[in-house]
Amino acid sequence: MTARIVVVGSFNMDLTTYMERLPRPGETVHGRKFVTGPGGKGSNQAVAAARLGATVTFVGRVGTDSFGDTAIQTWQSEGINTAYVVRDPENATGVAPIWVDDEGENSIVVALGANLALSKGDVEAAREEIAQADVLIVQLEIDLDTVAHALLVAKDHDVTTILNPAPAAHLPESTLALADFLTPNETELQTLYDDVPDDLRQLVQAGGPTLVMTAGSRGAVWATESDSGEVPTYKVDVVDTTGAGDAFNAGLAVALAEGKPLAEAIAFANATAAMCVTRPGTAPSMPQRREVEALMQQT
């Protein structure tokens, strides 16, 4: 069965500088290399899902500038449906200057531009496409009311929803309640909840989303109202952690759409993220399915 994934989210042109170490406030350091490439959490997730074998539709906004051209070319080269991408004449395509040090750690500044103009109307235009999906993924680099509306449209049609609450932001309970799966990292979880208990099951409300927290080199921790567990990740040589969370979310979405049980789906997501961090960049670093499956067979 081919997974059908709809991603409602962002595209940003990544402007990445590699350096020995990240600068302190007020300090100038020399960069070793500078590259540009397609990124943005939503776009990265769409590219990753397509490379994992899913049929993917992207719903978003880009400018009428050259970066917007790059976005369209990127998606079309991956076989992603761009019928619901709006070319915005008033707002520039989003950009993301990124710094990456020799340990693979990164700092990112995002200027979201056209992403923030993505509207409820844009989501409504894709309603029939969303209704046919197995899984809808949203993140927080677009207007938060649009995020909630996309989740609501999916729930109207009994489509499984993944809310990736990144970048970190406070969200109302009404939005969280529309997600079937909530996928924060540790920092994002602390932003969502004032007090994070050791037992994450205490955060899961009756009928609320399954919590799947990514934990870097530890892998991922999951919790439902009645159960919890930890799924270790795969050992790889880390080059660049940028985009790892996006790879994880795409892997989780595809695995769930294919009917894998939660622990198996998280293992597949972990392997997708692990392969991503072995190479530089964001969208270009997203792995092919054969690479993910090969990694899982090695360990």
- E-strand ranges in the chain read 4-8, 12-19, 31-39, 55-63, 81-88, 94-100, 106-108, 135-138, 160-163, 181-182, 210-214, 220-223, 228-231
- 222-233: string of b/e by CB count within 10 Å (b at 16+)? bbeeeeeeebeb
14, 88, 122, 246: which is the annotated catalytic residue?
A: 246
DSSP summary character for residue 203: G
Q: Which residues pair with 8 in a beta bridge?
A: 59, 138
Give the C-alpha distances (Å, rounded to integers) separating 285 from 31, 49, 104.
21, 13, 13
Task: Return d(Cα 154, Cα 158) in angstroms, integer.
Answer: 6
- At 229 the three-state DSSP class reads strand
Pairwise CA distance, residues 238 & 95, whole Å? 25
| C-alpha to C-alpha distance for 231 and 222, rounded to whole angstroms | 8
Query: Is the Cβ–Cβ distance between 58 and 81 less than 8 Å?
Result: yes
Residue 246 falls in the annotated catalytic set: yes
**Active-site annotation, residues:** 246
